[in-house]
Amino acid sequence: MISEGTIIANSSAPGSAAISVIRLSGEDSIKIVNSFFKPKNNVKLIDAKSHTVNLGILNDGKKRIDEVLISVFKSPKSYTGENLVEISCHGSNYIQEKILKLFIENNVTLAKPGEFTLRAFLNKKLDLTQAEAVADLIKSDTQAAHEIALNQMRGGYSKEVKNLRSQLLNFASLIELELDFSEEDVEFADRNELSNLLDKIETKLRVLIDSFSYGKAIKNGVPVAIIGKPNSGKSSLLNKLLNENKAIVSDIPGTTRDLIEDTLTINGIQFRFIDTAGLRKSNDKIESIGISKAIEVAQKAKIILYLIEANDNDNDTIKEDFKSFNSENVIIIPIFSKIDLEDKNEKNTVIYQKNKIKAGLDLTSSIEISIFDDSTIRNLKEHLFIRTSNLKSSSNSTIVSNVRHYSSMRDSLKSIKNIKKGLKNQLSGDLLSVDIKQALNSLGEITGEITNEELLGNIFKNFCIGK
């Protein structure tokens, strides 16, 4: 799946620009580029020091192509671990194409998506979690997503996982040694030490697994469903949050029939707000489809903003809706809307409503808003940020955002539990060995200590070309 020899790719975004960067990697990359480069300082690239930038003229052997800057990175101190060259040229499409064509015609292969990072992994410059973090870093659109990817790229939890796996591997070796001397009834692996190590691994894995909910939300954007009865102010709230007329607003019930979605970044965290059709019984076929979609979205959301109009006294319906959406995997925030229109009659106040519907419901996180009062909207935004941040364990700065890592960690945890159960039941070394090997495999898959071509293909196919 990996090309041999020297590879090349445009590492800049497609299209014209002031500057474009074209990257080559491979044992002969410096020598090949040197053949078409005339340096201003008369120092050949093959004689240039690593990590230097060289000004000169790039030509095709006959004609000048462009005046360029060439950065030289010599093996093994490069991103890929190989000799690597980066050509900074003027960013016209014509110049970029001329340079790519020149080297492709001289036995250089066009790089596949992610091939530079794949070579970095194969040359042990990065482990697999760090390699995947490169792609996440490029795709990060918010401060929070950037920080998670950057932490993982720097090593994040991979170093600790490797260390724990290494210790477990030592025990596996000792147990295998016991099997070689089974007739002599000897014990090389201290069961108490093994039990302590398993406790340590289990604790670490549980913390990382628990962080996935937060990490996934940050990486993909936190899905927030705006739910409520018709005319409760859902579309008006969406428009106010986005500061634009995204959704049609009218006094006619059933105006919103389809899902309307847009994103908003609050304190570095991206939220995906989805306005839905008003919840009610309807004989209108189209509206009924919209209501079904609304319920479906609510069931998949991480946060539900359930809007209750300030003058709405239909408490039984509100209770039913709450119960239908209630789940340990979703945060429901009751929103009492249109408080500027609140009927001051005792039985039509928000306070009265709260007292009437609070039975069996958590209203401690309820928010009162008016789209005409910016302070209430700011309060809602701050509340959303706090509730999302609380998903993150305060004791752990390392966040898992990759579903592959999450799956492997769950498999590892299952094997660790089986080993502990086996120790408790005093199983023989050969039976313990089966689960230990499975745990080692699952832990090794996280960092890439155990891998295969199919796995690598799935990971790197989604990378951008040039990285």
DSSP secondary structure letter of residue 108 = P
Q: What six digits make up the tokens of 182?
A: 């089974």
Tens digits of residue pLDDT in 8-18: 999 988 888 88
One-character DSSP codes across 443-459: HHHHHTSS--HHHHHHH
CATH number listed for the domain at residues 216-389 = 3.40.50.300
Tens digits of residue pLDDT in 182-207: 555 555 667 888 888 889 889 989 98
Mean pLDDT of 357-386: 79
Q: Distance between CA 66 and CA 90 in Å, rounded?
A: 7
Single-letter amino acid code for the residue at 414: K
One-character DSSP codes across 206-234: HHHHHTHHHHHHHHH-EEEEEEESTTSSH
Q: Are 46 and 65 in contact (CB under 8 A)?
A: no
Q: Are 188 and 170 in contact (CB under 8 A)?
A: no
Confidence at residue 302, expressed as pLDDT on a 0 to 100 scale: 85
Q: What pTM did the predictor assign?
A: 0.73
Other Cβ atoms closer than 10 A to 192: 8
Q: 258 or 198: whose pLDDT is higher?
A: 198
Residues 6+ apart with CB under 8 A from 98: 60, 65, 66
Q: Distance between CA 103 and CA 256 in Å, rounded?
A: 56
Q: Are 133 and 149 in contact (CB under 8 A)?
A: yes
Q: Distance between CA 294 and CA 226 in Å, rounded?
A: 9
Tens digits of residue pLDDT in 107-155: 999 999 899 999 999 999 988 888 888 888 888 878 878 888 788 788 7
Q: What six digits make up the tokens of 62?
A: 């006959």
Q: Distance between CA 420 and CA 196 in Å, rounded?
A: 10
Q: Distance between CA 455 and CA 378 in Å, rounded?
A: 45
Other Cβ atoms closer than 10 A to 154: 11
Q: Are 128 and 97 in contact (CB under 8 A)?
A: no
Confidence at residue 9, expressed as pLDDT on a 0 to 100 scale: 94
| Angle in degrees, 0-180, between the axes of helices 191-210 and 403-424, rounded to the nearest 10 | 150
- In terms of CATH architecture, what is 7-122? 2-Layer Sandwich (3.30)
Average pLDDT, the chain: 81
What are the residue ranges spanned by the domains of the chain?
7-122, 216-389
